Amino acid sequence: MDLSYGEELEGYRDEVAKFLGENWPLQGEEAALGWVEQATVFRERAIAAGYLCRNIPKSYGGSEQEPNVLKAQIIREEFGKLQAPTEPRGIGTMMLVPTLLERGEEWQKQKFVPPTIKGEMAWCQGYSEPGSGSDLASLKTRGELVGDEWVINGQKIWTSGAKTADYMFCLTRTEPEQSKHAGISYLLIDMKQPGIDVRPLRQMTGGADFCEVFFDDVRTPKDWIVGQRGEGWLVSRTTLKHERNSIGSTQQTRALFAGLVALAKQSKIDGKPAIEDPGIRQRLAAVEGYVTAHHHSGYRTLTKDAKGESPGNITMMNKLISTNIGHDIARLAMDLIGDNGLLGPGARSMAGMMGGTEGWISQYMYSLGIAVAGGTANIQRNVIGERALGLPRDAAAERSSGK
Amino acid sequence: MNFDLSEEQEMLQETVRNFLENECPATTLREIFDGDTGFSESLWKGMAEMGLAGLHLPEEHGGAGLEILDLAIVSEVLGYMGTPGPFVGHALAGLAIATGGSDAQKKKWLAALATGDAIGTVALAEEGGAWLPDQWSLEGGSLTGSKNHVLFAEQADVIVVGVAGGGLALVEKDASGIEIKDIDSADRTRRLCQVSFADTPSEALPEGEAAGTQLRDVALVLLAADAFGGASRLIEMSVEYAKTREQFGVTIGHFQALKHQLANMAVEVEPARGLYWYAAHAMDHVHDESERTAAVAKAHITDRYMQVARDAVEAHGGIGFTWECDVQIWFKRAMFDRAWMGTPALHRERAAVMAGW
């Protein structure tokens, strides 16, 4: 066990720090640009230096580096210190680009990957439907080949960023005569065309982070399909070997916990700082046990990834673990803010989550959104039970998948 | 960056586990559990021959000179296997003498403790849950008073006693005025005694105060490691049962209610491995964090163990509530790990104080 990065990697850290010292923040005229333009200028330099888009080939605008999770971690740490721009966030870089690199046609990679990783092309994900949540493969949105075009009709829901997206990658039922998983294709759709109606969904927080998307004879070219017809389910499950950020979520959790401790110091119970209350101290320390365990668990995963070994079942558990911690922190925060828990969540976005009372009310609600998004906690428990612990599959799910 | 066990450490765990699977299988464990003393001479000798009695003691005194992390990962395996015997008390007594003893004391005891020919234990707790060095009130020198919850005092050749001021003193087995009374211990794999002294001669450890705080923290780490191993075992037992027990024509693991309970148990325990590793590693390498991390690890993991043990009984249904079912052995080990050296609440409050809250 050795928790230092060692001489070679510390040398690498110095290189990264030197690059950042010379390149961020931008100087002179460039410093007057807007944030988006600044980020674009900086990203090009960071890619040229080999620090961003490391797993993307040079021919598609990446820096094509040997995978190295420890170097990737050092880059995140050093960039994080100066809040320098990293790869554009969003579903395009996270989901579509890896999928295209693994399964896409050459022309698709050339057309879509470079602008997406530069942040010039925004994507949304068309998976869930009103009747198809946990049972996603039952989706009904139809795609029919008419001449050289797919004609798409149906509805998607929980679509983050649909208002601003240029394109959608969309699971579509194109082979209705096939069994449910085998009837789905992975289509790319231009969002700026007639027949697409995007309606924001108002959340319990009052904000609107995602939308419903309605398709009425929406068209996309015949070859805007990733993989073959009927392979969409498999394509959507593509994961590329990449530099997994195994401690990203644990760092967020630690930051949230630090915010909770700060809140306990500011809040009062019977006129005294809440942090002096024995019950509050017990609960804080109990939550800290989970936060600290999750933190070290992240470093173990990082080590396993660096060695090219499997971290084991923990990777299937991380979502539920961070969800549980989020609930604990939110509940304790609501007890700390007391009467202010009667107020609405003034802060209507994730931004400002850490500050003030409104932020904690928002966090109290958002922690539930996180518990549901991307597979509910109960679905996570199924996955852990069946794949990690080897328990038998649910009988209904088994029948429905035709296996 | 290597937050993982070395190949040698993984091999150490595997060797100990293989040994215990052969020498202390379920039937043997059950005999010792149901027996009068909870102690098996042959099992102890076998463990000692593997070097477990002196794993962490200095090589110059016949030990293996390994670190607290090595001791802790063995403790995990013993917890997993439900191993009966004096390992914890013995390890702590040796550690205290190695850290706080005079040359003469080390010479007298360490070699015999390292081979397991002599058994050591520690006498710490006083009335009212006074487990910690700053709570001890028994005056040193000629001892009069009593200590509670002493592991395997009947078998011990030397007892390391916590005294007022946070120091430590040695008492030999046949010292005058010593009286040992068995307690009806819940955990029959780790038997406890009350030890009373009446003008009993003792010998102070010169560096007893430093050894006392180290002993406290290492004890917490070993309990956390044992708890991680035991909790992992209970999850395996419960999953296995869910895969074999049939009701309504299918194995009960088909039912989501149980599947989710088992998943929750796994999610409570699996991430805690790194917490006890780090606490153990910190004892040797990150001194400014070791005291607090040990407290957090003990509080967190022994609490998880106890809850998982309750869940395991439930997952086994009626049979889980019987003496015949092995779950009860680990359930009671969870009770031990949770309460010995102080409850999770005690250590959470310590962690809060140390954080400056």
Give the tens place of pLDDT for each residue, A213-244: 999 999 999 999 999 999 999 999 886 555 67
Contact B352 A281 (CB under 8 A): yes
Q: What pTM was computed for the model?
A: 0.94
Name all domains of chain A by residue range, CATH numbers in brackets. 6-82 (no CATH), 123-236 (2.40.110.10), 248-400 (1.20.140.10)
Q: Compare CB distances from A281 to B266, B286, B349 and report the shortest one's residue.
A: B349
Q: Compare CB distances from B266 to A5, A282, A388 and report the shortest one's residue.
A: A388
CB B200 within 8 A of CB B169: no
Instruction: For residue A54, give Cα distances in angstroms to A43, A48, A63.
Output: 12, 10, 5
Contact B243 A392 (CB under 8 A): yes
Please count the residues of chain B. Answer: 357
Cα–Cα dist B223/A381, whole Å: 29
For residue range B27-57, list pLDDT tens digits in order. Answer: 999 999 999 999 999 999 999 999 999 999 9
Question: Which residues of A are part of the catalytic machinery?
Answer: 243
Name all domains of chain B by residue range, CATH numbers in brackets. 7-115 (1.10.540.10), 120-207 (2.40.110.10), 210-354 (1.20.140.10)
Q: Which residue of B has its CA nearest to A73?
A: B1
Contact A299 B250 (CB under 8 A): no
What does the pLDDT read at residue A241?
Answer: 54
Q: Compare CB distances from A2 to B2, B266, B277 and report the shortest one's residue.
A: B2
Q: What is the CA radius of gyration of chain B?
A: 20
What does the pLDDT read at residue B120?
Answer: 98
What does the pLDDT read at residue A351?
Answer: 40
In order along its 403 residues, chain A shows pLDDT tens digits of 988 999 999 999 999 999 999 999 999 999 999 998 999 999 999 999 999 999 999 999 999 999 899 999 999 999 999 999 999 888 999 899 999 999 999 999 999 999 999 889 999 999 999 999 989 999 999 999 999 999 999 999 999 999 999 999 999 999 999 999 999 999 999 999 999 999 999 988 888 888 999 999 999 999 999 999 999 999 998 865 556 777 778 888 999 999 999 999 999 999 999 999 999 999 999 999 999 999 999 999 999 999 999 999 999 999 999 999 999 999 999 999 988 888 877 644 444 444 567 788 888 888 888 888 888 999 999 999 999 999 999 777 777 765 4
Is the peptide bond between A25 and the residue preceding it cis, with omega within 30 degrees of 0? Answer: yes
Q: Report the 3 state secondary structure along chain A.
A: CECCCHHHHHHHHHHHHHHHHHHCCCCHHHHHCCHHHHHHHHHHHHHHCCCCCCCCCHHHCCCCCCCCHHHHHHHHHHHHHHCCCCCCCCHHHHHHHHHHHHHCCHHHHHHHHHHHHHCCCCEEEECCECCECCCHHHCCCEEEEECCEEEEEEEEEEEECCCCCCEEEEEEECCCCCCCHHHEEEEEEECCCCCEEEEEECCCCCCCCEEEEEEEEEEEECCCEECCCCCHHHHHCCCCCCCCCCCHHHHHHHHHHHHHHHHHHHCEECCEEHHHCHHHHHHHHHHHHHHHHHHHHHHHHHHHHHHCCCCCCHHHHHHHHHHHHHHHHHHHHHHHHHHHHHCCCCCCCCCCCCCHHHHHHHHHHHHHHHHHCCCCHHHHHHHHHHHHCCCCCCHHHHHHCCC
**Under-70 pLDDT residues of chain B:** none
Which residues in chain B have Cβ-Cβ distances shorter than 8 Å to A386?
Answer: 259
Contact B260 A3 (CB under 8 A): no
What does the pLDDT read at residue A354?
Answer: 45
Cα–Cα dist A264/A256, whole Å: 13
Establish if A68 touches chain B: CB-CB under 8 angstroms: no
What does the pLDDT read at residue A340?
Answer: 83
Q: Compare CB distances from A294 to B266, B271, B344 and report the shortest one's residue.
A: B271
Q: Compare CB distances from B266 to A300, A303, A384 and report the shortest one's residue.
A: A384
Residue in A260, A391, A399 to test binding to B, most B beta-carbons within 10 Å: A391
Distance from CA of B242 to the nearest CA of A (A): 8
What does the pLDDT read at residue A356?
Answer: 66
Distance from CA of A54 to the nearest CA of B (A): 20
What does the pLDDT read at residue A355?
Answer: 52
Q: Which residue of A has its CA nearest to B302?
A: A289
Which residues in chain A have Cβ-Cβ distances shorter than 8 Å to B349?
Answer: 278, 281-282, 285
Q: Which residue of B has its CA nearest to A283?
A: B348
Which residues in chain B have Cβ-Cβ distances shorter than 8 Å to A395?
Answer: 250, 254
What does the pLDDT read at residue A238?
Answer: 80
Contact B352 A3 (CB under 8 A): no
Q: Which residue of B has its CA nearest to A394?
A: B254
Cα–Cα dist B182/B154, whole Å: 8
What does the pLDDT read at residue A347?
Answer: 46
First-residue to last-residue Cα distance in chain B: 31
Contact A390 B239 (CB under 8 A): yes
Q: Report the 3 state secondary structure along chain B.
A: CECCCCHHHHHHHHHHHHHHHHHCCHHHHHHHHHCCCCCCHHHHHHHHHCCHHHCCCCHHHCCCCCCHHHHHHHHHHHHHHCCCCCHHHHHHHHHHHHHHCCHHHHHHHHHHHHHCCCCEEEECEECCCECCHHHCCCCCCEEEEEEEEEECCCCCCEEEEEECCCEEEEEECCCCCCEEEECCCCCCCCCEEEEEEEEEECEECCCHHHHHHHHHHHHHHHHHHHHHHHHHHHHHHHHHHHHHCEECCEEHHHCHHHHHHHHHHHHHHHHHHHHHHHHHHHHHHCHHHHHHHHHHHHHHHHHHHHHHHHHHHHHHHHHHHCCCCCHHHHHHHHHHHHHCCCCHHHHHHHHHHHCCC
Interface A-B, measured as beta-carbon pairs within 8 A, has a size of 164
What does the pLDDT read at residue A242?
Answer: 58
Interface of B with A in 258-317 (CB under 8 A): 259-260, 262-264, 266-267, 270-275, 277-278, 281, 285-286, 293, 296-297, 299-301, 303
Which residues in chain B have Cβ-Cβ distances shorter than 8 Å to A306?
Answer: 1-2
